[in-house]
Each structure stands twice: as C-alpha cells, then as structure tokens.
DNA sequence: TTATGAATGACCGACAGTCGGTCATTCATA
DNA sequence: TATGAATGACCGACTGTCGGTCATTCATAA
C-alpha cells in the first residue's frame, strides 16, 4: 500500500497556512504558485486538494467569516439597548478598528467574485451568513418589542434593514466614499419611526 | 502632413461597434482580440484609443446606463401615485422585461469590477448615477409631501431607500435568489409608515 | 519487489498589453 | 505638377503572467 493522508485535514492545513498571505495580497494578486510555496507544497499538489483557485480562496475566507460570526455571538450580550445591539450586529461594516481593514478589503474582493461567479457553494454560504445575521436580528427586535421599546411593525423592517446595510457597504465601495455615518443616521431615523415614545 | 482622425469620434465608434458583443459575451469572456475584430481594426489600434480593457468596457457600459437614465426621464411622468413613481425609479432592478436580462447580467459584472478596481473615473461615474437617481427621488418625495400623501419624515428615508435597493439587488445576486417581491414588500412597509392615513 | 497513491514541476493555453515596423496621406519644394 | 520627406494611424507578432494539467517520480506498506 501507500501513505493515506487525511484529505480534509490537509485541505484545512493548506488553507490555514495562507491566511496571512491572502490578507496581504488580496484575491486577485494572489497566485497559486505563492499559495503552494507558502503551504510548503508543489503547485500541482494544490490541485489535489482544491479544484481551482476560487475554491481555496473561498475556503480561507469562509474561515474568516465563521470566526467573525463566533465573535459576534460571544460579544453581543454586552450591549444594552436595542439600537446598540443592532449597531453591533453590523460592526464589521461600522467598526473603525484598524486590524479589520485588511479583512474588509478581502471581503470586498470576495463580494466582487461572488457577483460574477456561478459557484453554488459560495451562493449557498452567503445565504447561510444572511440567515445567521437574520436570526440574531429577529431576536433582538423581538426582545425590544417584548420590552415595550419598539413597535410591532419593526418586525417587517428587519429584511429591509439587512439589505440596506449591504447597500451602504457596497455603495461606499463602488463610489469610493465612507458611508458609516450615513448608515448610522439611517438607523436613527428608523428607530425614530418604530420607537415607542414615553 | 498626415491623416488626422477625430480621436473622440473613433473612440465612440469602436465602443459603439461592441455593444452587442459585450451583451452577448459578458465582461470577463470578452477579449481584446474580439473587440478589435468586431470593430474592424487591429488589436494594437484598440490601445491607441483606450489604455486598457477596463476602459473600453466602461465606455460601453456608461452608454448603456446613460441611455437607461434618459429612458427614465422620458417615462417617469406617466406614473400617478407617489409609490408608483418610486417603484418605477427602480425599474431596472424590478422589471421582468426579458431584453433587459443581458443588460442586468452585464451590470452585475460591472458592479463586480467596480468593487475590485481603484479606477477613479468609474467611482466618479457611480457617484453621478447615484446623484441622478437621488434628485429624482427627492423630487418625487417632495411632491408627495406637498400633495399631503406622505409625512415629512419621508425625506430622511430616501438615502436609506436607495441603499436598500442596491442591497436587495446585490444580495439577490450574491445569494442566487430573486428578491424583487421582497423589495416591493419592503417599500410597502415603508409607505405604511409614512403615508398619511385618511 | 511491487502496487498504490501522494507529490511534483515542467508544460500548456489563454489573454492583456507592448513595440517595432508599415503604409497612406499630406504638403513643401523644385 | 511631380516628388519625397514627415507624420501619425494602424497593425499583429511577441512577451509576460498565471491558472490549470499531466507524465513522472517517490515513499511506503504488503
């Protein structure tokens, strides 16, 4: 016989070895040759574990996003008001935190790829991400309603809010602007409409 | 001395000759060689009029968008209610019109490019497009307020609405879903909030 | 020894972009 | 009016890059 490697583990190892590289070079400027070199394997070997460049980039980015989601879950209960909780949910977009910048850059490129690929796993994963955020947001809103802070109609606005956030994000990129404050203002306006005044 | 051609005109001619080609092949699958062949010139000549592929693709798409904007202006006064006018403003996204499909596909790819380019003219043009829609939307809302159909607070929602539309569009693509109905529902909810009930 | 599968890097094709050269036109001059 | 020098439009062969492939080699278990 011959050596049998744990394909799944090696896959993760290769991807894991390239986290930094991806953040540093971005998707477009990342070459398979570099990936192979960084992972300490031959170029051909990369293709024994991934069927194309998109797949390996996706593997790395998925890890990034899943980590970020875990982070969200771990921190979200520190927030007090409903609005604060909502804002924190969109922290990835709103945060001014420096170290996040490279992640944001890569995510921008990822979105770009997403818009021109037909890769089903990618679309599927994006749906999962939406669902993840969606469930948390729905919870937050439910709690707010139960606490008597906001009106029932807020439930119907969650969908639009999530889409608006993505819209602000994409337009900020597509037009070379910083729209964080505008998004916060928009949330303020929404809350003015749904908050129960005392 | 020598022949002097109208550089601007020829630029437009080359771009104009490739409208159909771009719609047919999309941005990524369009090659400079094909562009040259279609325009009836040599490959090198393309580079006498455009500095790179992005530039020529941009030239073609800009024409598409400007035509669509002219269309919007020509048709918008046919609408009656404020909500109808708003919906029509987002017709490019909401329309089920078959012939628009290829334009939408190309626009999706254009947005994709937009998200990973640093090309200033492109970002600049995107800002102009936003302003164009923005002004019309503000007008529509103003008229609605004057007619007593909707509340003043609507003015503060226009920004978010425009972003939400783009969000629905992008997410629909990024998640492989059709979100037209969801967007319409969202608009319905917004109008419920801002409409002055009789 | 041998069968098996992992690993490899030389190789390939596609494509954006470059560059040295050609050719048609124009016009100054004899 | 004939000529030839100057100009710039035009061209496609060529280069460099990069994603992806495949024939071959190598290591190990039986």
Residue where the block lists tokens 């409208």: B19
pLDDT in tens, B126-153: 999 999 999 999 999 999 999 988 999 8
Question: Where along chain A do its domains lie?
Answer: 52-194
Quickly count: other Cβ atoms within 10 Å of residue A144's Cβ. Answer: 22
Q: How far is the CA of A41 from the C1' of C28 (A)?
A: 69
How far is the first Cα of chain B from the last one, in angstroms, to the nearest whole number? 77
A112 contact B CB<8A:
yes
| Chain B interface test: which of A176, A195, A197 (most B C-beta within 10 Å) | A176
C-alpha span between A126 and B18 (Å, rounded): 34
pLDDT in tens, A108-126: 999 999 999 988 999 999 9
Contact B158, B134 (CB under 8 A): yes
pLDDT reported for residue B75:
80
User: What CATH code would you report for A52-194?
Assistant: 1.10.357.10
pLDDT reported for residue A122:
95
pLDDT in tens, B154-185: 998 999 999 999 999 999 999 999 999 999 99
With 90 as the cut, is the pLDDT of residue B77 above it? no
The pLDDT-based confidence of B6 (bands split at 50, 70, 90) is confident
pLDDT reported for residue A127:
97
Chain A positions in Cβ-Cβ contact with residue B164 (cut-off 8 Å): 160, 163-164, 167
C-alpha span between B26 and B122 (Å, rounded): 18
pLDDT reported for residue A138:
95
- Torsion (CA) A16, A18, A20, A21 in degrees, nearest 10: -170
A185 contact B CB<8A:
yes
The three state secondary structure string of chain B is CCCCCCHHHHHHHHHHHCHHHHHHHCCCCCCHHHHHHHHCCCHHHHHHHCCCHHHHHHHHHHHHHHHHHHHHHHHHHHCCCHHHHHHHHCHHHHCCCCCHHHHHHHHHHHHHHHHHCCCHHHHHHHHHHHHHHHHHHHHHHHHHHHCCCECHHHHHHHHHHHHHHHHHHHHHHHCCCCCHHHHHHHHHHHHHHHECCC
C-alpha span between A110 and A28 (Å, rounded): 10
Which residues in chain A land under pLDDT 50?
A: none
The pLDDT-based confidence of B29 (bands split at 50, 70, 90) is very high
B175 contact A CB<8A:
yes
CB contact under 8 A, A170 and B116: no
C-alpha span between B85 and A160 (Å, rounded): 19
Residue-averaged pLDDT of chain B: 92
The pLDDT-based confidence of B32 (bands split at 50, 70, 90) is very high
CATH class of B53-194: mainly alpha
A175 contact B CB<8A:
yes
CB contact under 8 A, A112 and B109: no
Nucleic strand D under 7 Å from the C-beta of A54:
yes
With 70 as the cut, is the pLDDT of residue B1 above it? no
pLDDT reported for residue A198:
67
pLDDT reported for residue A170:
98
């Amino acid at each position: 016989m011959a050596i049998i490697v744990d394909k799944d583990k090696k896959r993760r190892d290769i991807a894991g070895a390239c986290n930094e590289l991806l953040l540093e070079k971005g998707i477009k400027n990342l070459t398979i040759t570099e990936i192979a070199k960084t992972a300490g394997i031959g170029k051909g070997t990369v293709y024994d574990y991934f069927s194309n460049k998109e797949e390996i980039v996706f593997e790395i980015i998925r890890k990034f996003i899943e980590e970020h989601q875990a982070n969200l879950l771990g921190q979200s209960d520190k927030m007090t008001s409903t609005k604060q909780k909502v804002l924190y949910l969109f922290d990835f977009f709103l945060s001014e935190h420096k170290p996040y910048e490279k992640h944001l850059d890569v995510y921008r490129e990822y979105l770009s790829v997403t818009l021109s690929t037909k890769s089903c796993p990618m679309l599927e994963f994006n749906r999962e991400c939406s669902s993840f955020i969606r469930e948390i947001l729905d919870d937050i809103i439910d709690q707010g309603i139960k606490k008597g802070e906001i009106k029932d109609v807020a439930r119907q606005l969650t969908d639009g809010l999530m889409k608006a956030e993505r819209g602000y994000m994409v337009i900020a990129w597509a037009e070379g602007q910083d729209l964080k404050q505008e998004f916060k203002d928009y949330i303020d306006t929404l809350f003015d409409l749904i908050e129960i005044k005392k």
